[in-house]
Amino acid sequence: MDFELSEAQSAIRREVVDFARARLGEHVAEHDRDGVFPREDWQRCADFGVLGWPVPTEHGGSGYDPLTTMIALEALGYGCVDNGLVFAINNHLWGCVIYLLEHGTDDQRARYLKPLCGGRLVGAHALSEPEAGSDVLNIQTTAVRDGDHYVLNGTKWFISNGPTAGLYVVFARTGGPGREQDRLSAFLVPADLPGVQRGQEFSKMGLRTTEMGAVTFADCRVPVEDRLGREGAGYSIFTSTVEWERSFMFANQVGAMERLLERSVDHVATRRQFGRPIGALQAVAHKIADMKIRLELARLILYRVGWLKTNGRLSLVDTTIAKVFVSESLVQTAMAAVEVHGARGYVSDHGIERELRDALGGPIYAGSSSVQRGILAELIGVRGGLTG
């Protein structure tokens, strides 16, 4: 096993870190306070190529393989202090772009990928509803075939990028006989289509620079050619694509863990109490050591997923482990950073408390940790792990 990055990957990592430090997050404290999506930083990311890292060059992307994409996302999370911006990028990539790459037709890719990569379209994943989150099969939004269109009706809830998006990947019930899994379909729905209504916007504890809102579809006519895959394939499309979301979305969190570790090491080396640096206190030193342990283990499991995807192999067990471990590790690391910084960690001036607020969403979004543990139990042979 070779754990070294290639020369090209190392160069990409340096370039991404330099770009993120120099160009992104200058107004993060203000934007976080006011819940503002940083449109200028989004466009800077598009111009740098971030929004198309996993997209083939012929469609306007960078053509990075999955592992290189993961390394680049880790570097972005390390260099960019605006975790909400990075979260918006992840929703764009793994809630929209990857669906086009994996399941779109040539015509759909030709129409949508270049605007998505170029920043002209923000992508969003419209799955959750007021009564359907983890219970995907309980979706109530309907799509009724009417000639060469589908008529969509229903409301989507807690949609990250919802108020900002120009293109939604929407899951709806198309009916028909058979299993519940065969009654869902997926659609590409532009935000400017008649019948698309942006609704309530939600104020959040953290990740405030990613806007979240409700989206309602009222007799919205979607052309058949904007259906993803065949009718009734929505559930299989979702389950086959979710591997990307539940691992790649958390690569930036490894970068954030490294950034927090470095800040904490600098602080405990320079902050003096009782006549010596506080890092000399065992209770403080052990927190720093645990931060390093979590960082290295998180990086290893994510790189394993990236390697598996690069080699075209299934990785559902590994992505499930990665989602749980990385998201919970970041919460623990951010909490430790607050503790070792003391009052400086608690007040808003230094940004450490923002890191903790941003981290707390990780065990919830992209499938809660509780649900993921149930899925993992079933994957390794424990019957009823998801519902027991």
CA gap 155, 174 in Å, rounded: 15
Residue 15: active-site member: no
Residue among 129, 211, 245, 355 flagged as catalytic: 245
DSSP conformation letters of 158-182 = EEETTTT-SEEEEEEE---SS-GGG
Instruction: State the DSSP code for 141.
Output: -
Structure tokens at 370: 């509780």
CB-facing half-sphere around the CA of 306: CA atoms within 13 A: 25
d(CA 331, CA 371): 18
- Listed in sequence order, the residues at least 6 apart from 65 whose beta carbon sits closer than 8 Å to its beta carbon are 310
Q: How far apart are CA 124 and CA 87, in angstroms?
A: 11
> What is the token pair recorded at 230?
């065949």
3-state SS of 18-71 is HHHHHHCCCCHHHHHHHCCCCHHHHHHHHHHCHHHCCCCHHHCCCCCCHHHHHH
Largest CA distance in the chain: 80
Query: How many CA atoms are closer than 13 Å to the CA of 144, on its beta-carbon side?
Result: 9
CA-closest candidate to residue 249, choices 343, 162, 340, 366:
366
Coil, strand, or helix at residue 72?
helix
Closest listed residue to residue 72, CA positions, set 45, 92, 98, 96: 45
* Catalytic center residues: 245
